[in-house]
Structure 1
Amino acid sequence: MSQSLPLSREVTAIRIPGGDSHLLPVGTEVVITQALGDTFTVAVPSLGGLFRIAGTDADALGRTAVTEAQALPEGQTLEEAAWEKLKNCYDPEIPVNIVDLGLVYTLEIAPDAEGKGSVISAQMTLTAPGCGMGPSIAADARAKLLTLPGVTEAQVAVVWDPPWGPDRITEAGKKKLGMV
């Protein structure tokens, strides 16, 4: 059974499945229900729901905070870094990242309007049209893309065409799910 712990400082968290931001005050009791990628899913009994806390705020949970890169590793393109970031996004109910689940359909990078950085636009889907996790997962993906050096704007749209199917899952995802 997971143990309740108080937040050591206030933290902004994303409500699951709604995707809206909430400020959780210092001392709020939470229970970590999942720690995958560089985010934490926590149950907040006082608010009656689940929230996602970014890895950069892990210290509020008594964990080591994830630091944001100031520059891309030598030889890595922004597109490669963006795909890697998206591999740290998880549906709170499925232990496979959204890239290996085949949920990300497109990823495009363009210069921003001022020519000082980049805009990343992505299209993704969900495993089922009735899934209420879309706003939460899209918000998490957007937040992760915005941590990349030089990215000034990120947009993540949830689309339904083409429909998702299990054939889109990568070999790594199938292994994690026990499908191979």
Structure 2
Amino acid sequence: MAKITKEEIMEKLGTVIDPELGVDVVNLGLIYNVDVKDTEVSVRMTLTTPGCPLHDTMINGVKTAVEQHPLVSKCEVNLTWEPAWSPDMMSDKVRSMFA
């Protein structure tokens, strides 16, 4: 039986773009953890600011992207503010774009 890998889920998450910054959530450093159990995926993530006006859009985008994996039956997105996001969490490639 085929298994879902974290790498496959991260690839799906790489398609979710923060509309304000135009960068995907993985390279922004917003994804803190991906847990795969059988066909269910749990994603722990943050947003760039607690008052983000696109809160629901981002959460729904992550859920939709993960659930596009053919073996995923359910995706739960858990939002956290600890640790708080900072630009240091961005990938080097993205950080250089904003430098």
TM value normalised by structure 2? 0.90
CA offsets 1:123-164 (integer angstroms, 9 cap, x no match): 111111111212111101100100102110101122111111
Q: Which has the larger radius of gyration?
A: 1
Query: Greater share of helix residues, 1 or 2?
Result: 2
CA offsets 1:2-28 (integer angstroms, 9 cap, x no match): xxxxxxxxxxxxxxxxxxxxxxxxxxx
SS in structure 2 of the partner of residue 151 of structure 1:
coil
Is residue 89 of structure 2 the alignment partner of residue 162 of structure 1? no
**Distance across 1 between alignment mates of 2:57 and 2:98:** 26
Identical residues among aligned pairs (%) = 30
Deviation above 2 Å: which 4+ runs of structure 1? none
Q: 1:18 maps to what in 2? A: none
Query: Greater share of strand residues, 1 or 2?
Result: 1
Gaps of 5+ in 2: none
Counterpart mapping for 1:82-97 below 5 A: 82-97=9-24
Query: How many residue pairs are counted as aligned between the two chains?
Result: 98
| Cα RMSD (Å) | 1.7
Structure with more relative contact order (C-alpha pairs < 8 Å, separation 6 or more): 2
TM value normalised by structure 1? 0.51
Gaps of 5+ in 1: 1-71, 112-117
Counterpart mapping for 1:1-180 below 5 A: 78-111=5-38, 118-175=39-96, 177-179=97-99
